[in-house]
């Protein structure tokens, strides 16, 4: 697959790391509920090898997926890693035996998390580490992240982390973190139906910082919309391809990491980078979030 089919390139600011805008998110490679081994371990390896063979050079992961499982599958599938592959991981959570997601944000937790990632990925240094703030089920929650950013900056000075990003954060937390260290990317929940971060995306674009939406396809509840289906039908594409193409169109600093455990879905998703969205189609797709917001405010009245 040649470069334009993967959405063009993006260089993380102040780094030598350049990736195709169409990447891959590895969370779906763990077992059900992001817990334990996958139902089809060979299939998981096949997805990663297919992605790398297609030119994907940006993979998102976390050692708390599984836990450990996703990183171990990435290592099995791709180590020794091809030149230019950028693996982005996250710190800030741990899984308990009841499968719950709990904060892991003390200096020791963060340091241990870096070593877990290094060991399970088979690396000497991590390209990019996002500090993932826990927030609430509704999204990010205000509150200082200065202590955690200071710890990450220290781990960076020790050479264990090359660059730092953020996840599940507010605009104020981005500003707070930037006073402590350089931030190269922000990974928040954003898609056609959830556009709470519109202003943040534009602000990060002005600064050349990557915005990496998680749940680009709706995550655990995949996007469903009659407008999306109708646009997809007219373009001869699938709704998921249109949802991804819309994100690529939304802003040049958006990098995609759609997750899938299926080679067929991976191929379908990568092809989204070749989909052209005519302007009237973009306006139609923009109406999805506006309509969702007005329905939600009607419910609250």
Ligand X SMILES: NC(=O)c1ccc[n+]([C@@H]2O[C@H](COP(=O)([O-])OP(=O)(O)OC[C@H]3O[C@@H](n4cnc5c(N)ncnc54)[C@H](OP(=O)(O)O)[C@@H]3O)[C@@H](O)[C@H]2O)c1
Point out the residues that are catalytic. Answer: 65
Going along the chain, which residue ranges are E strands? Answer: 9-11, 18-20, 24-25, 58-60, 86-91, 93-95, 101-103, 126-132, 161-167, 183-187, 210-211
Cβ atoms of 21 and 57 within 8 Å: the answer is no
Within residues 10-69, the interface with ligand X by CB under 6 A covers 25-28, 60
Minimum CB distance to ligand X, residue 300 (Å): 25
| Size of site (CB under 6 A) for ligand X | 27
Minimum CB distance to ligand X, residue 195 (Å): 15
Does the footprint of ligand X cover residue 113 (CB under 6 A)?
A: no
Burial 54-93 (b: 16+ CB within 10 A, else e): bebbbbbbbbbbbbbbbbbbbbebbeebeeebbbbbbbbb
Helix H, strand E, coil C: the string for 90-152 is: EECEEECCCCCEEECCCHHHHHHHHHHHHHHHCCCCEEEEEEECCCECCECCCCCCHHHHHHH
Does the footprint of ligand X cover residue 167 (CB under 6 A)?
A: yes
Contact residue for ligand X among 259, 270, 275, 289 (CB under 6 A): 259
Contact residue for ligand X among 109, 219, 249, 263 (CB under 6 A): 219
Cβ atoms of 244 and 221 within 8 Å: the answer is no
Considering beta carbons, is residue 44 or 118 the nearer one to ligand X? 44
Does the footprint of ligand X cover residue 187 (CB under 6 A)?
A: yes
Minimum CB distance to ligand X, residue 51 (Å): 12
Does the footprint of ligand X cover residue 165 (CB under 6 A)?
A: no
Considering beta carbons, is residue 28 or 148 the nearer one to ligand X? 28
Contact residue for ligand X among 68, 119, 162, 265 (CB under 6 A): 265
Contact residue for ligand X among 71, 269, 273, 277 (CB under 6 A): 269
* CA–CA distance, 55 with 2 (Å, rounded to integer): 8
Q: Which positions touch ligand X (CB under 6 A)? A: 25-28, 60, 90, 132, 167-168, 187, 214-219, 222, 240, 257-262, 265, 268-269
């Amino acid at each position: 697959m040649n470069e334009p089919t993967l959405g063009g390139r993006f260089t993380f600011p102040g780094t030598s790391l350049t990736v195709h805008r169409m990447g891959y998110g590895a969370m779906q490679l763990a077992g059900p509920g992001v817990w334990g081994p996958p139902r089809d371990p060979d299939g998981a390896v096949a997805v990663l090898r297919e992605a790398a063979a297609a030119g994907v050079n940006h993979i998102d992961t976390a050692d708390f997926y599984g836990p450990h499982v996703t990183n171990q599958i990435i290592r099995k599938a791709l180590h020794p890693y091809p030149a230019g592959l950028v693996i982005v991981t996250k710190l800030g959570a741990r899984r308990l035996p009841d499968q719950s997601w709990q904060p892991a944000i003390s200096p020791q937790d963060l340091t241990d998390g870096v070593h877990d990632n290094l060991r399970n990925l088979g690396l000497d240094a991590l390209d990019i580490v996002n500090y993932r703030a826990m927030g609430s089920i509704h999204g990010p929650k205000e509150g200082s992240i200065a202590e955690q950013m200071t710890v990450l900056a220290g781990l960076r000075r020790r050479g264990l982390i090359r660059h730092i990003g953020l996840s599940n954060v507010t605009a104020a937390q981005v500003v707070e973190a930037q006073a402590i260290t350089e931030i190269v990317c922000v990974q928040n929940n954003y898609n056609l139906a959830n556009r709470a971060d519109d202003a943040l995306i534009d602000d990060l674009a002005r600064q050349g910082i990557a915005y990496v939406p998680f749940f680009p396809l709706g995550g655990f509840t995949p996007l469903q919309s009659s407008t999306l289906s109708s646009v997809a039908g007219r373009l001869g594409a699938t709704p998921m391809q249109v949802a991804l193409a819309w994100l690529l169109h939304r802003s040049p600093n958006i990098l995609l990491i759609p997750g899938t455990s299926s080679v067929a879905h991976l191929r379908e998703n990568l092809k989204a980078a070749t989909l052209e969205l005519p302007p009237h189609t973009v306006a139609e797709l923009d109406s999805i979030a506006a309509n969702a917001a007005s329905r939600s405010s009607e419910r609250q009245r």
